[in-house]
Structure 1
Amino acid sequence: MNKTEFEVHDARFRALIQPNAPLEKLYGECLWAEGPVYFPAGDYLVWSDIPNSRMLRWVPGMGVGVFRANSNFSNGNARDHEGRLVTCEHGLRRVTRTEHDGSITVLASAYDGKRLNSPNDVIVKSDGSVWFTDPDYGILSDYEGGRAESEIGRCNVYCVQPKSGTGEAVLVADDFVKPNGLAFSPDESRLYIADSGASHFENGPHHIRVFDVVDGKLRNGRVFVEIQEGIPDGMRIDEQGNVWTSALDGVHCYSPAGELLGKILIPEVVANLTFGGRLRNRLFITANSSLYSLCVAVRGVAP
């Protein structure tokens, strides 16, 4: 355990953190840790180790074990309202759901008859719809998937209704360079989406955009915040509507108005995070090769 280092940029941040809570390193043998998702029914966390094409599971008091040995280069993960795992797979370029009996259901694999690029991050709305981003990171090389040309020719954001059974994604945004993490506001009236285009373009975007959600469509898109240290990747929202996002130097916390409240400094580049624990007040953070956790003074938004 290490003493947690914080940067307080706004006095309101002090009410969101536990200054004496230690930063715990729970595991440190990944090649690129991503996609943490917490399952309250079993009190455990699952996350992806993308280049090793595996998923790992951490259980309190028991440590870490392999959850899925061949994950098809899985990246982002979510939990639906029946407690099932929803996963973005770079390798097979699809979004899947793991049923309670262990079988796999393909939720989305194509748009307009063309294969998806490499689904990256995913969330489930209260109506059961599944929203995901589809940049090309998994087809740029063989490190996080399989090198291939994009059939669609763009990096988009999609939504799919699982009950449709078509495996066909519905386009909701097509003006991103590399759409990445995404999260709904507590009342689902707004959707935040990261654009991490600066990862491969010198003057590319490194911001989070926010959209109004109107009748299942995205309206009035605008830049919410620019991330000055590195790029935004995964993000989560707390009960107060604050946005907690990954960055080069740690986890940044922004108010619903886009004001930087503070930072949790992490000794590795942060890829993603999620709220978990029985009270949803434990922040789990995937960063480079490691999984960290930290208790905070606010709860993540209830699923």
Structure 2
Amino acid sequence: MNMKIKHFSILAFLLSVSSSTLFAQNLTSHPSNLFAADDAKLVSSDFSFTEGCSVDKKGNVFFTDQPNDKIWKYDTDGKLSIFLDKTGRANGTYFDKKGNLITCADEKGQLWSVSPSGKVKVLINNFNGKQFNGPNDIWIHPNGDLYFTDPYYQRDYWQRTAPDLSENDVYYLPKGSKKIKVAASGLVKPNGIVGTPDGKYLYVSDINAGKTYKYAIEKNGELTEKQLIISKGSDGMTLDEKGNIYLTLGQGVFIYNPGGELIAELKIKDGPSNVCFAGKDKNILFITARKTIYTLPMKVKGVE
């Protein structure tokens, strides 16, 4: 159901969609610098908990409904369909260059590679013989190297009640290798993760610490030069072509410029969990928010 955006001032607009309210306020300039002058849209509210949205090369979005153990597809024509049932309780996802959907299957602490036809291959399932806490979010470097966060969140579908690993770390798997390395440690609960399209920097959100860090990615894949860039944690994350960083936390999507300054905020009553840029031109902001999914036309394009 679409409803027209009402402009209350040059700095804000309010949108009511179905039973949820979406409020956007640009904190430094007029919203039109980022948001297209168009309707926002509640696509569906028929899920249990949406997460892990990723976009393929054509602009189709794939997202998870973890409690229902499904991966859904939202195509560029606005059609919803189930891509995969029985997903290993998939959470975060990311497409590799071959079109495989790499998923954080936290039911057994694994990473899966799912082919376009839905064929599943388990990429990794342990670290030095110990089960991962629960792979949560993932990003793939342009060279094929893979980074993922591994916080421990007790799930009601687990039989285990304590982690095998004592730390909540960020891990790194070089392309073509089976040797997993710790990329970043000393974090409370690393969650959202995203890298720049040039492969030079990685953003990691420590959601329980309320901080988001920026790391330099060395040629050997190691992370150095840890820098606190934003004093806010995040669940899912994405970037746009201007280098702006999109965080999801609580009841908002918070947009920061590359220097870590808050420039805009989308307040979503349902509570956003993740975000990506969808559509053929990657200019549609796709938001997963608990039982719902939203789209919002933008004047910037996504890059990851």
TM-score (structure 1 length as normaliser): 0.88
Does residue 8 in structure 1 map to residue 26 in structure 2?
yes
2:167 pairs with one of 149, 154, 174? 154
Q: Supply the distance in 2 between the matched residues of 1:90 and 1:96 (Cα, whole angstroms).
A: 10
Residues 194 and 232, structure 1, Cα contact 8 Å, conserved in 2: yes
Corresponding position of 1:104: 120
Whole-angstrom CA distance in 2 between matches of 1:65 and 1:101: 14
| 1:38 corresponds to 2:17 | no
Give CA deviations for 1:123-153 in whole Å, capped at 9, x if unaligned.
Answer: 111001111000012xx1315x554321111
Conserved 8 A contact 1:270-1:288: yes
What 5-or-longer segments of structure 2 have no aligned partner? 6-14, 16-22
Farther off after superposition, 145-154 or 243-252: 145-154
* Mapped contact 1:186–1:241 kept (Cα < 8 A): no
Most deviating of 175-184 and 50-59: 50-59
Match of 1:142 in 2: 156
From 100, 110, 113, the equivalent of 1:94 is 110
Contact 2:201 2:216 in 1 (8 A): yes
Distance in 1 between the 2:115 and 2:166 partners?
Answer: 32
Distance 1:149 1:253, change over 3 A: same
1:64 aligns with 2:75: no
What amino acid maps onto 2:81 in structure 1? G
Q: Does 1:211 align with 2:215?
A: yes
Partner of 1:259 in structure 2? 261
2:190 equivalent among 164, 168, 179: 179
Distance across 1 between alignment mates of 2:162 and 2:130: 12
C-alpha contact (below 8 Å) 2:142/2:198 kept by paired residues: no
**What is the CA–CA distance in structure 1 between the aligned matches of 2:292 and 2:30, rounded to whole Å?**
29
Q: Is the 8 A contact 2:143 2:175 kept in 1?
A: no
Q: Deviations over 1:211-266 (max 9, x none)?
A: 11122111121221123xxx511110111111011122221110110000011222
- Structure 2 residue aligned with 1:275: 277
- Aligned pairs, number: 285
Query: In the aligned structure 1, how far is the partner of 2:46 from the partner of 2:67?
Result: 12
Contact 1:284 1:294 in 2 (8 A): yes
The CA distance in 1 between the partners of 2:75 and 2:57, in whole Å, is 11
The 8 Å contact of residues 232 and 247 in structure 1, kept in 2 or not, is answered as: yes
Structure 1 residues without counterparts, runs of 5 or longer:
198-204
Deviation at 1:66, TM superposition (A): 1.8
Q: Encode CA deviations 1:2-29: one digit per residue, 9 max, x unaligned.
A: 43431111127541221x2222111112
Using the size of structure 2 for normalisation, the TM-score is 0.88
Letter in 2 for 1:26: V
The alpha-carbon distance between structure 1 residues 163 and 186, as it changes in their structure 2 partners (threshold 3 A), is closer
